[in-house]
Amino acid sequence: MQHRGQESAGIVSLHQGEHRIHKGLGLVADVFKEPELTELIGRSSIGHVRYSTTGENRLVNAQPMAASLLNGPVAIAHNGNLVNAKPLQRKLKAQGAIFQGTNDTECVLHLISHISSDNFVTSVKSVLPQLEGAFSFVFLSHREMVVARDKYGFRPLVLGKKKNDKGEDSWIAASETCAFDLIGAEYVREIEPGEIFWVDDKGTHSEKWSYPAHSAKCIFEHVYFSRPDSIVFGQSVYESRKAFGRWLAKESSVPADVVIPVPDSGVPAAIGYSVESGIPFEFGIIRNHYIGRTFIQPHQSVRDIGVKIKLNPQTAVLSGKRVIVIDDSLVRGTTSQKIVRLIRQAGAKEIHMRIASPPTVGPCYYGVDTPQKSQLIAANQSLEEIRAFIGADSLAYLSLDGLFAAVGEKPVQNQKKSFCAACFDGDYPTPLYE
Ligand code: AMP
């Protein structure tokens, strides 16, 4: 799951009723070397990779968060973002709670500590209704592993199983099904919105902790966030992205010689665009997979080298050509601006930027790190102004209708969509709190 977070990584294992914990800042392969893994023995474990949407990138905010409570150790890993974390924190602090970090997940541990039940599942069930927003949780107590999903189903959470050495079923929960492929586990099903599922010595159990609310599956998981080899919300991410590209070609075709993706995230949409338009697909930009994030440099010339080390346009494909460039999304516009400049330098005759999602007009409060409105170019500038800013000859986005049609959403009059697309349409499915 490294693609879902690169700031910190952690694992908590349960061995003979005690937790073993290792967390660190950085990538999984850097945080976990052989000695750390050797220490993490036990029959069950939970892990997390983090990229921060609330709270800074400090070790105290790294997850899983673990605490020692009256009835034993508890650890939690959270995917998503609680929109009522601030009022909850204020209330808990007024009651004397001491917070270590600045992220929303710590609230959940405090809330659990206030419940007097010695049954951990009962405690979790009484805390979940106090939380508003997006959460896919895994908990580890001294007895059980508990998995729960918010009632809207914002973030994905899937269940798999694999036979252990004794031929018994081991249960695995993960954000995405590609995790199961890796370890040879079988994908069983999604954890339902409003479901709590747990595994203990007696086996597996499932209950509804809430009636499902109106479904609000995050459309951005299909646009950008998830890996294309995952099944998310029951649908192939790769197929969705290809369909975004096909719809984009239907909506805003333009005569051109080649269709090229911004790698890697634009690749499936560019294939879809090419198939629909009949314009050949080429890798016009080659991505270097050995470089991390583009480093920030003050001078344009040095910055261009930074982008080029990561994404190098090929003159052989681009020179003298009318080029359609496909990216999955355009947020601040700076990536597109750099890419257009490099493609122009490689000799392209025309550059037509096509974005396989609608204009990003609103921040996400549910766990995707979208910048605030003032930094979202489409929230502040017209299409023509954005085109001029990125320096392309033309610019078009996928329409909202195209986006929903591509994931098979049938428009029904006066009925809300089953996806949350608040970043694209400003329609937030939950109350928002200060
Ligand atoms: P920008 O330069 O802000 O317009 O960034 C757009 C690029 O960032 C696109 O190529 C996307 O693939 C990628 N992107 C979009 N959303 C995110 C996100 N939440 N985190 C990291 N990268 C993103």
- For residues 31 and 116, state if they share a domain: yes
- For residues 88 and 147, state if they share a domain: yes
For 295-334, write each residue's pLDDT tens digit.
444 565 665 677 778 889 999 999 999 999 999 999 999 9
- For residues 308 and 396, state if they share a domain: yes
What confidence score (pLDDT) does residue 294 get? 45
- For residues 26 and 111, state if they share a domain: yes
| 68 is a domain residue | yes
What confidence score (pLDDT) does residue 302 get? 61
Q: In 3D, which of 192, 275, 268, 190 has the Cα closest to residue 229?
A: 268
Rounded to whole angstroms, the Cα distance separating 411 from 260 reads 31
- For residues 258 and 200, state if they share a domain: no
| 47 is a domain residue | yes
223: Cβ–Cβ under 8 A, 6 or more apart, which residues?
A: 241, 244, 328, 329, 356, 357, 403
For 2-34, write each residue's pLDDT tens digit.
999 989 999 999 999 999 999 999 999 999 999
- For residues 259 and 148, state if they share a domain: no
Write the CATH number for 400.
3.40.50.2020
Rounded to whole angstroms, the Cα distance separating 341 from 318 reads 13
Q: For residue 42, give its domain range.
A: 2-213
- For residues 31 and 161, state if they share a domain: yes
For 59-83, write each residue's pLDDT tens digit.
899 999 999 999 899 999 999 999 9
pTM, entire model: 0.95
Please state the atom number of ligand 1 nearest to the C-alpha of residue 265. 12
| 227 is a domain residue | no
- For residues 82 and 132, state if they share a domain: yes
- For residues 162 and 267, state if they share a domain: no
CA of 396 to the centre of ligand 1 (A): 17
Q: List the beta strands (DSSP E) in 182-307.
A: 186-190, 195-200, 203-208, 217-218, 231-232, 235-236, 258-261, 285-287
- For residues 251 and 124, state if they share a domain: no
Write the CATH number for 47.
3.60.20.10
Contact 102, 56 (CB under 8 A): yes
For 363-385, write each residue's pLDDT tens digit.
999 999 888 999 999 999 999 99
Nearest CA to ligand 1 atom 18: 369
Asked if residue 328 has its Cβ within 6 Å of ligand 1, the reply is yes
Helix (H, G, I), strand (E, B) or coil at 260: strand
| 434 is a domain residue | no
Asked if residue 357 has its Cβ within 6 Å of ligand 1, the reply is no
- For residues 204 and 139, state if they share a domain: yes
The pairing of strands 311-313 and 322-327 is unpaired
- For residues 197 and 247, state if they share a domain: no
CA of 145 to the centre of ligand 1 (A): 34
Asked if residue 265 has its Cβ within 6 Å of ligand 1, the reply is yes
Please state the atom number of ligand 1 nearest to the C-alpha of residue 331. 4
The alpha carbon of residue 136 and the mean position of all alpha carbons in its chain are separated, in whole angstroms, by: 12
| 220 is a domain residue | no
CA of 355 to the centre of ligand 1 (A): 12
Out of 178, 197, 213, a domain closes at 213
Mutate to test the pocket of ligand 1, among 2, 226, 260, 335 (most ligand atoms within 8 A of CB): 335
| Angle, CA 309 vertex, CA 372 and CA 338 arms, to 5° | 45
| Angle, CA 147 vertex, CA 145 and CA 151 arms, to 5° | 160
Contact 156, 113 (CB under 8 A): no
Domain count, the chain: 2
Please state the atom number of ligand 1 nearest to the C-alpha of residue 375. 3
Out of 213, 248, 273, a domain closes at 213
Asked if residue 311 has its Cβ within 6 Å of ligand 1, the reply is no
